[in-house]
């Protein structure tokens, strides 16, 4: 029997790479996609998967990814959009290119990923988008990021409204800070999830009965009590 198939965009590092390793360990064939060729190919080789080097904000690249996935000969059980960029910038003097790049990767890329893979999905397939708690509340320096993630959330809501009748599940992970290269900067909360913990949640979604709808999941690290992160607990009053 062929392995179930997972397709992950944004898999060269961070949450996408962690999800790829987790799902491969769970018995999936994992097809990964990202812009950075070398780490992507190293990951695909390490997990026994396959890959497409692609910029998912490009329509042509998204179509090429879908064509590569179609060649695998089975419907994806999971399609995960974990690509994202974050460039904190104040609104006054905000460079247009930073705004456009953030919207292109975080929002347009998610749209293209879903649109191109939809014809390959079947009843029981699930699409997962990694979003952010910032989608629900704007914050200083995060105008473009918050806007892009809020748009992604509303897009996912529309996607579910259109395709729940086809048996396709849509999940949005509203994540608090995650310890990834994207957040390796001063001023970020010390209460951070590990990418592997988010990967565990994604793998859990694959185990849900097909009739279960679970769209909005807010996930953050514990900030109090015995399970708060050690470094953060040391800093807390």
pLDDT of residue 214: 86
pLDDT, mean of residues 88-93: 93
Alpha helices in the chain, H assignment, sequence order? 14-25, 37-47, 59-70, 96-103, 109-117, 143-163, 195-205, 230-235
Query: Both ends of the chain: CA-CA distance in Å?
Result: 55
Per-residue pLDDT of 203-219, as tens digits, reads: 999 999 988 888 788 88
* pLDDT grade for 233, boundaries at 50, 70 and 90: very low
Mean pLDDT (the chain, rounded): 91
pLDDT at 29 over 80: yes
Average pLDDT of the segment spanning 178-204: 76
Number of domains in the chain: 1
Check residue 107 and give its pLDDT: 98
The percent of residues above 70 in pLDDT, for the chain, comes to 91
* More reliable by pLDDT, 144 or 181: 144
Q: 112 lies in which domain range?
A: 5-235
Rounded to an integer, what is the distance from CA 95 to the centroid of its chain? 25
Alpha helix positions (H), 109-218: 109-117, 143-163, 195-205
* pLDDT of amino acid 180: 66
pLDDT of 158 higher than 90: yes
Nearest to 9 by CA among 42, 51, 48: 51
Confidence check: pLDDT of 40 > 60 = yes
189 falls in which pLDDT band (50, 70, 90)? low
Whether residue 225 has pLDDT greater than 90: no
Tell me the CATH number at 61.
Answer: 3.40.50.720
Among left, alpha and beta (phi > 0; psi -120 to 50; other), residue 27 is left
């Amino acid at each position: 029997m062929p392995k179930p198939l997972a397709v992950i965009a944004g898999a060269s590092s961070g949450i996408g790479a962690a999800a790829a390793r987790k799902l491969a360990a769970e018995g999936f064939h994992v097809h990964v996609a990202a812009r950075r060729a070398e780490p992507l190919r190293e990951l695909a080789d390490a997990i026994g998967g396959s890959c497409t080097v692609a910029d998912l904000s490009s329509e042509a690249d998204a179509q090429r990814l879908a064509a590569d996935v179609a060649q695998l000969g089975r419907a994806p059980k999971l399609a995960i959009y974990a690509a994202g960029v974050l460039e904190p910038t104040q609104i006054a003097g905000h460079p247009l290119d930073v705004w456009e790049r953030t919207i292109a990767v975080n929002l347009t890329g998610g749209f293209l990923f879903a649109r191109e893979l939809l014809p390959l999905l079947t009843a029981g397939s699930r699409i997962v988008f990694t979003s952010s708690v910032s989608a629900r509340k704007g914050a200083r320096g995060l105008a473009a990021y918050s806007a892009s993630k809020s748009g992604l959330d509303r897009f996912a809501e529309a996607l579910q409204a259109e395709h729940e009748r086809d048996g396709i599940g849509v999940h949005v992970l509203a994540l608090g800070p995650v310890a990834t290269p994207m957040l390796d900067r001063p001023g970020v909360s010390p209460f951070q999830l590990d990418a592997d913990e988010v990967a565990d949640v994604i793998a859990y979604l694959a185990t849900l009965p097909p009739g279960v709808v679970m769209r909005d999941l807010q996930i953050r690290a514990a900030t109090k009590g015995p399970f708060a992160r050690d470094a953060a607990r040391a800093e807390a009053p």
